[in-house]
Structure formats: structure tokens, C-alpha cells
Amino acid sequence: MSEAEFAAIALKVCLTVLIGFLFFIIWDLGRKAKVGKLGMFILFLVLGLGIAGFLFKNVLVGWFA
């Protein structure tokens, strides 16, 4: 396995773990703030859209490059 292959695999694995951890942080933040179901939905929607935008940007760059 070359260094480039390892870096590509490690990047995908680490980004997946980071995104999962960010969703855990969002959930924990909502739980500690004792928000209702609507508040939790809004937290996940707004903060999740930021993650989705980051991923969509990478897809677009890869598609057009």
C-alpha cells in the first residue's frame, strides 16, 4: 500500500469518525439544554446542513475537476 492510498483511506475514515462525533456533540448539547423535539430537530437540521454543505462542496469539486 502506497502512502497516497493510505492517506486517502485514512482521510475517509477520520472524516467519518469526526462527523459521527459532531452529531454526538449536537445530540449531547440538545440533551443538556433540555430542548424539546422541535429544538432537537432544528439543531440537527441547521448544524447538519453545515456538514452536508461541506460534503456537497467536495462532491462538486471532484465532479468538475
Answer yes or no: pTM beyond 0.85. Answer: no
Domain that holds residue 26: 3-64
- Name the 3-class secondary structure at 65: coil
The alpha carbon dihedral of 16, 51, 2, 61 has a sign of: positive
pLDDT in tens, 7-63: 989 988 998 898 899 889 989 989 999 999 999 999 889 888 888 898 899 889 888
Residues sharing a CB contact under 8 Å with residue 22, sequence separation 6 or more, in sequence order: 47, 51
What's the domain count of the chain?
Answer: 1
